[in-house]
Amino acid sequence: MTTPDSPTPRPAPLVEVANLKTYFPVNEGVLSRTVGHVHAVDDISFHIGHSEVVGLVGESGSGKTTVGRSLVRLNRATAGSIRFEGQELTGLSDREFQPYRRKMQIIFQDPFASLDPRKRVDAIIGEALSIHRLGRRSERRGRIAELLRLVGLPEDAMARFPHEFSGGQRQRIGIARALAVEPRFVIADEPVSALDVSVQAQIVNLIQDLQSELGLSLLFIAHDLGVIEHLCDRTIVMYLGRIMEVAPTKRLYSAPRHPYTRALLSAAPSLDRNAAHEKQVLEGEVPSPINPPSGCVFRTRCPYAIKDCAEIVPPAIAVEPDHVSACIRTELFQ
């Protein structure tokens, strides 16, 4: 699904994010004075094409979830631009944003927390339908049944309560809820990391099938590199609120250019015993996002850091067409 390089101009991407920043104030004392900010997402830019599956990886605290939440306005972006179908979203009032809540949906990480325990399944899935006034009341039942069938659940699940289902089934309900309003773009925020390994594959395959059959654009957030490799056309690697590298998934896995990506990939367990495996272990802790390092945020743990890394905030350098790496030492790993 990746657009190959061609002379014809590319169609405008569905989602275009430019210089997005999402900071959270840190308050202290009785008067709640703001003493600093958590730089959860710090100046990132990317785009997602029509029907494209983009992976977003990074370790805990890298801000990947905040990116997803900022896109659907569960967190307000501090600065930057988010364009959807060419329309700038950041300046919109909540009322003006409402139609976009139909076009973008999110699948949550924890299926045990994301379903209201006091609502029946039909009420959970149907809520968005009534909010956006989709269909007549009498038609909604049929539609909910259709959604359940779509995610592989029997129709009589409708009258049941979330706690009667297994984790995988609950996540299916979460997926049905996200699809209820026919979104063009779905954010999957670590949708399988709370599930049993045996169920993970089922859910990943379900998401993949739905994506390709319905032509959805998908931002798949995960820390599981295997899932990303299986699913995504392109992959974004984040570290401490910034993008380190963006490349088509195959390229990223076979020829990573950023030292952080290399470290991340080498840390992933592999079943292939013969694979030449130079293990590269990162030293130290992830620095605090309240007070990130100057220059390149990864320099404190980077084995290739030089003096300039503390001074220059690395720009996104196109090392190949469609392959961007935020490292000033472009000569590495050629």
User: Which CB sits closer to other proteins, 175 or 328?
Assistant: 175
Distance in angstroms (rounded) separating the CA atoms of residues 273 and 279: 13
Q: Give the one residue of 214, 255, 282, 313 binding other proteins; rule: CB under 8 A.
A: 214
Beta-carbon contacts of residue 162 (< 8 Å; ≥ 6 apart): 115, 116, 117, 119, 121, 124, 170, 173
- Least gap, CB of 116 to other proteins (angstroms): 4
One character per residue 124-143, x = contact with other proteins (rule: CB under 8 A):
---xx--xx-xxx--xx-xx
Closest to 316 (Cα-Cα) out of 330, 334, 305, 303: 330
Q: Give the one residue of 18, 36, 47, 152 binding other proteins; rule: CB under 8 A.
A: 152
Q: Give the one residue of 9, 76, 197, 213 binding other proteins; rule: CB under 8 A.
A: 213
Distance in angstroms (rounded) separating the CA atoms of residues 104 and 120: 24
- Least gap, CB of 216 to other proteins (angstroms): 10
Residues touching other proteins, count (CB under 8 A):
62
User: Which CB sits closer to other proteins, 25 or 303?
Assistant: 25
User: Which CB sits closer to other proteins, 56 or 147?
Assistant: 147
Q: Give the one residue of 202, 253, 317, 333 binding other proteins; rule: CB under 8 A.
A: 202
One character per residue 48-87, x = contact with other proteins (rule: CB under 8 A):
---------------------x--x-x-------------
Give rounded-to-5 percent helix, strand, coil for the chain. 30, 25, 45
Q: Print burial letters for 131-160: b (CB count within 10 Å at least 16), e (below 16).
A: eeebeeeeebeeebbebbebbebeeebbeb
Closest to 22 (Cα-Cα) out of 72, 57, 56: 72
Question: If phi over 0 gives left and psi between -120 and 50 gives alpha, with beta otherwise, what is residue 310?
Answer: alpha
Contact, 292 vs 43, CB < 8 A? no
- Least gap, CB of 13 to other proteins (angstroms): 21
Distance in angstroms (rounded) separating the CA atoms of residues 125 and 103: 16
User: Which CB sits closer to other proteins, 161 or 304?
Assistant: 161
Regarding 118 and contact with other proteins (CB under 8 A), the answer is: yes
Regarding 273 and contact with other proteins (CB under 8 A), the answer is: no
**How far is C-alpha 334 from the chain's CA centre?**
28
HEC string for 94-112 = HHHHHHHHHHEEEECCCCC
Provide the binding-site residues for other proteins, judged by CB under 8 A.
69, 72, 74, 94, 98, 101-102, 105-106, 108-110, 113-120, 127-128, 131-132, 134-136, 139-140, 142-143, 146-147, 149-154, 156-157, 159-161, 163-164, 166, 168-169, 172, 174, 177, 181-182, 202, 205-206, 209-210, 213-215
